[in-house]
Chains A and B, each alone.
Chain A
């Protein structure tokens, strides 16, 4: 099976702009989770979607949002970008919801905010 794919791999934006990142899960996986990884804060959970519904959410402001489509592909949107949003954004797919199953990570999108 093909792994989790994320596009784009690299992105440069300026403060105040918005950005949309895309994640295609492993075929058959219905859960997609998003994570932010920074040197200072480490790996932090953003949210999880399962069957087009947000099931779980981390402690991030409302500028971070997401959605999932009927084919399980997911997008994450960050509005009004801040310098601190520079990070590696990882998505992971899993067969089931609720963190009881293996999380398969994609290669990530490296976002730089100038």
Chain B
């Protein structure tokens, strides 16, 4: 069945270091969405990418959607303690009626 894996599962960084999480789908996705969930909170939408090879930036965050629309990445430059949380990718397969979430990457930022 459809699987969306994220690596790494956990990441500890010193404040100011960069962080990257990778999202890999077993099948082509029609779009990729990224969410952030703070400890004890609920997922909050960050961004959506639709086009093959698309790159979008939000301040210190850079999102990429792979050429084959099967993988994506989120890169945070110069992490801050406010970046702590679990980052999820999610996407529907083309024509599918199901939204598949990645396994998530839990980021810890050490001050």
Query: Closest CB of chain A to B91's CB: distance in Å?
Result: 8
- Most B CB contacts (10 A, CB to CB) among A58, A59, A102, A108 go to A102
Q: Mark B10-50, 1 if CB is under 8 A from A, else 0.
A: 00000000000000000000110101000001111100100
- Given A43-B88, A104-B45, A99-B104 contact (CB < 8 Å): no
Asked if A42 and B43 make an inter-chain contact with CB atoms under 8 angstroms apart, the answer reads no
Considering only CB atoms and an 8 Å cut-off, how many residues of chain A contact the other chain?
A: 24
Which A77-114 residues sit within 8 Å CB-CB of chain B?
Answer: 90, 92, 98-100, 102-108
Asked if B43 and A99 make an inter-chain contact with CB atoms under 8 angstroms apart, the answer reads no
Q: How distant is the Cα of A59 from the Cα of B43 in the complex, in angstroms?
A: 21
Check if A63 is an interface residue, CB within 8 A of chain B.
no
User: Chain B contact residues (Cβ within 8 angstroms of A): what range?
Assistant: 20 to 34
Q: How distant is the Cα of A99 from the Cα of B32 in the complex, in angstroms?
A: 10
Query: Closest CB of chain A to B8's CB: distance in Å?
Result: 15
Contact of B98 among A45, A90, A107 (CB under 8 A): A45
Q: How distant is the Cα of A105 from the Cα of B99 in the complex, in angstroms?
A: 14
- Given A99-B31, A99-B92, A102-B48, A45-B100 contact (CB < 8 Å): yes
Asked if A56 and B98 make an inter-chain contact with CB atoms under 8 angstroms apart, the answer reads yes
Asked if A33 and B99 make an inter-chain contact with CB atoms under 8 angstroms apart, the answer reads yes
- Most A CB contacts (10 A, CB to CB) among B31, B92, B99, B103 go to B99
- Most A CB contacts (10 A, CB to CB) among B43, B100, B103 go to B43
Check if A55 is an interface residue, CB within 8 A of chain B.
yes
Chain B residues packing against A (C-beta within 8 Å)? 1, 30-31, 33, 35, 41-45, 48, 88, 90-92, 97-104
Chain A residues packing against B (C-beta within 8 Å)? 33, 35, 42-45, 48, 55-59, 90, 92, 98-100, 102-108
A and B contact pairs by CB, cutoff 8 A, 13 listed: A35-B101, A42-B103, A43-B43, A43-B101, A45-B101, A56-B99, A90-B42, A100-B30, A100-B31, A102-B33, A105-B35, A106-B42, A107-B42
